[in-house]
Structure 1
Amino acid sequence: MKQPSRHSLRLGVAFVLTAICQANPVFPGADPHVAVFDGKFWAYPTHASDPKAQFHSFDFVAYSSPDLVDWKASEPILKMADISWIKDDGARNHWLWAPGITEKDGKYYFYFSVGPQNPTPSRIGVAVADHPAGPFKDIGKPLLTGGNGFEAIDPMVFQDKDGTAYFYAGGSNGAKLRVWKLKPNLIELGEEVEVATPPEFTEGAFMHEIDGTYYLSYSHGGWNNPNYSVHYATSSSPVGPWKYRGAILNSGESHKGPGHHSFFQHPGTKQWYICYHYWPSTKNEPPLTGQRQCSIQKISFAADGTISKVTPTDEGPEPAPIR
């Protein structure tokens, strides 16, 4: 029998190592919001059940994982058909995208964007469940409707340490950030807080806080373009004023248009991660076909608290169970 050459052995070892290390992408979809609930990691992306659907869906699913590596999709947690008010704008076609989630007192609050954005204005809805896997029940009316140059998209809720819940929304063609305080029930808007729109802001605002520093991160550029990227600003308050810090995630050789992300922390190791979507492509041009994918990578910080730049890679997170 012919023995394998050293070259073929090296190729075999390389293949095994690649198979072990290549954990990204972790699941299909876009605009992922990852959170930790009930001892698991939960991810809520824009769910494109049809590979030809580039940027929207007609239902939402959740992905859960015990260790950041093995992800399991749920049954639909909210279907467009179950949103009673969705046709009230008179538009012919509708779609769902860019969800966000938060938890309070054992209830889970799921916020989502509803299109079209033109000629009728986009809207944001909210649904509530007793479990992170749903099923979620829509509250029966929009939480926010766009108009007058503002696009009501990309909801994000941040609950501060004093119990105040802040609702962030906006972007796209309007490229304007708006923030409200939510009422304690988390399904009604309270007072709007006047905030500055930070430099290079397009959409997809996300807020997290570490040791008194508030990190407002967001996407810049066109969602279907290689210039899509993640930038951020910091503040001593969840509503600014903002100190612009620059871009931390840009397109790579085979990972185009990374963005619409979320940050989350492992409750045991305290390691921080970013989850984002991208187009798998080597062409530096807007993709015409294919479905976006979601990746998870560790992030690190400089001594002054700034976030180190992230390079898109297929090497995903190591298994990290929640003990």
Structure 2
Amino acid sequence: MEKPIHSGHGRRGRALLALSTLIGAALVSGAQPASAANPIIPDRFVADPSAHVFNGRVHLYVTDDQKNSGTYWDSNSWRSYSSSNLVDWTDHGDIFSVAGFSWASQYAWAPGATERNGRFYLYLPVDRTKIGVAVSSSPQGPFTDARGSALIDKARDTNVGDEPIDPMIFTDTDGSSYMYFGTRKPKVIRLGADMVSTTGPIIDLSVTGSTQYGEAPHLHKIGSTYYFSYSTGWPGQIHYATGSSPLGPFTYRGVILDYVNVSTNHHSIFEYQGQSYIAYHKNARAGGGGYKRSVVMDRLHYNADGTIRTVTQTSGGVGPFATFTAQHSDLRLDTSGSAVQQSTPSAAQSQHWQLRARAGDRVEVINRASGSCLEVPGTADGASVTQSTCTGSTSQQWTVRSADATTVSLVNSASGKCLDVPSSSRTSGTRLIQWTCNGGANQRWRRTAVQ
């Protein structure tokens, strides 16, 4: 996460100018911020995700943009979420604040995290000059200051660089742990076995090729190859380079993630249940922007030669997805513009739907292609079913009710009426409505997981 040094000039000026340019381009092109399945946290501005698999769940540690002033990255606490399916996220609330470090005063910026010997560690940049460590016996806290002083301190340590921020922890197969951090020049230092001390000097990492380093370092390993990825600046792409050692040197290989619609780009790569994912932030909610960002997630794919494909940024997110096929017609629930219809089965992502849990056993039914929610803007029989930007309203919430051993009905929470194919039509393209639930085959849907 980029934190400008000079007011009105230098990094801040470039970041704000670049952000204005990106927003202007979006307005000209008609692009809109994504909503729904992405962002994965739909009700709070959070950013700078650090994603980890602990105890079989994915844990996200984030910067809390919800609490900042909206004119700077000046929030004072970090937040945590966890999920077992990458769709439904448990909010663990504030897990640590700047006030938890007696030696720090402000700026809770991009966190890093790791686990060792059943203890969980957060690496937290503060004051734009220091990195502290907090520790807990649980991944969701409570965390306490592990040292009583900064692990990295620009006033005390040598070769810290412009700003010691964006810490990321990597533990190799031999048990050695390293912390990567820094702006403009990537830095790394080996951690002690206790995870709260350092061993040896801060080292400059070497990356060769047609690239530049800005901030947000990340390291992961596949086989014997180390993948070093990072933002190129403000605005920045996420580039990656490979090497045969966690200390480099690294050779530039390509772009993992293209520019997002804010000036900062910050990512975290992880594997869960045999699939690779990337979490990152962008402007993806109404009222969002460069200081009010949202965390999104997409799939990460490797080519046969070990190179990484550039990520496709989606509204629909990572799934899991399902199709819904009308019992009477064998046609699928589909979309066309804002309309919802039944269509001939195909591989189109407009026929893929994600169910995101809401309170009271209700769900949002979210389209993979658009990221929009299934909605009924009314309560009368015959009201058209549409898709629109997810807002959390009851008109966008549904109950999935078992109709028989093989089918379900989708019951709208606002009206209590069922998703219905009018007049039991068997015609592809027929627009869907809601109707008083009657158990008819035109209100029953076969749900099938998308592989």
1:99 aligns with 2:73: no
User: Which SS does the other structure have where 2:122 is aligned?
Assistant: strand
Query: What per-residue deviation string (whole Å, max 9, x for no partner) do you get for residues 272-310 of structure 1?
Result: 00000112499xxxx966610111100111111111001
Aligned counterpart, 1:313: 314
Q: State the partner residue of 1:276.
A: 280
Letter in 1 for 2:247: V
Provide the residue aligned with 2:100 in structure 1: 82
Of 217, 220, 233, 2:229 maps to 217
Identity of aligned residues (%): 39
Q: Does the 8 A contact of 1:195 with 1:240 survive in 2?
A: no
Q: What is the alpha-carbon distance in structure 2 between the residues aligned to residue 203 and residue 233 of structure 1?
A: 14
Taking the aligned partners of 2:52 and 2:36, their CA distance within structure 1 comes to: 23
Give the TM-score of the pair, scaled to structure 1. Answer: 0.79
RMSD: 2.2
Residue identity matched to 2:118: G
- 2:137 matches 1:124: no
The 3-state SS of whatever aligns with 1:158 is: strand
1:264 partner SS:
strand
TM-score by length of 2: 0.57
What is aligned with 2:125? 113
1:30, distance to aligned residue in structure 2 (A): 1.2
In structure 1, C-alpha distance between the alignment counterparts of 2:264 and 2:181, rounded to whole Å: 20
Which structure ranks higher in relative contact order (CA pairs < 8 Å, sequence separation ≥ 6)?
A: 1
* Equivalent residue in structure 1 for 2:78, among 16, 38, 60: 60
Q: Would the alpha carbon gap of residues 188 and 304 (structure 1) be closer, same or farther in structure 2, given more than 3 Å must change? A: same
Deviations 1:102-159 (A, max 9, x none): 00010001001102x3xxxx11010000000001101211000126743111111100
Give the whole-Å Cα distance in 2 for the aligned partners of 1:278 and 1:137: 30
Q: How does 1:173-184 map to 2 (within 5 A)?
A: 175-184=184-193
Is the aligned partner of 1:33 residue 2:50? yes
CA shift in 2, pair 1:315/1:256, >3 Å: farther
The equivalences for 1:285-296 within 5 A come to 291-296=292-297
1:247: how far off?
2.0
Q: Describe the SS at the equivalent of 2:265.
A: strand
Q: 1:289 to 1:249 in 2, by over 3 A?
A: closer
Matches of 2:64 and 2:285, distance apart in 1? 20
After superposition, what is the alpha-carbon deviation per residue over 1:185-222, rounded to whole angstroms, capped at 9, x for unaligned?
00001113634342411111011001111110111121
Is 2:237 aligned against 1:236?
no
> Which of the residues 162, 172, 175 maps onto 1:150?
162
Q: Is 1:265 matched with 2:271?
A: yes
Could you report, residue by residue, the CA deviation over 1:77-120 in whole angstroms, capped at 9, with x for unpaired residues?
A: 11222211114xxxxxx2111100000010001001102x3xxx
Instruction: Tell me, in whole angstroms, the C-alpha distance in 1 between the residues paired with 2:144 and 2:297.
Output: 29
Question: Structure 1 residue 165 and structure 2 residue 177: aligned?
Answer: yes
SS of equivalent residue, structure 1 residue 151? coil
Match of 2:198 among 184, 189, 194: 189
Deviation, structure 1 residue 246 = 2.5
Question: Secondary structure of the residue that 1:95 maps to in structure 2?
Answer: coil
Deviations 1:248-276 (A, max 9, x none): 21136xx444621000001x3x1100000
- What amino acid is the match of 1:271? Q
Give the residue type in structure 1 aligned to 2:116: K
Contact 2:188/2:205 (<8 A) preserved: no
Could you tell me whether the CA contact under 8 Å between 2:51 and 2:59 is conserved in 1? yes
> Secondary structure of the residue that 1:312 maps to in structure 2?
coil
Contact 2:297 2:317 in 1 (8 A): yes
Q: Which amino acid aligns with 2:251?
A: K
Instruction: Return the alpha-carbon distance in structure 2 between the equivalents of residues 257 and 73 of structure 1.
Output: 27
CA distance in 1, matches of 2:285, 2:79: 25
Q: Does the 8 Å CA contact 1:265/1:273 hold for their aligned counterparts?
A: yes
Q: Equivalent residue for 1:24? A: 38
- Which amino acid in 2 is paired with 1:228? G
Total equivalences in the alignment? 274
Displacement of 1:230 after TM fit?
A: 0.7
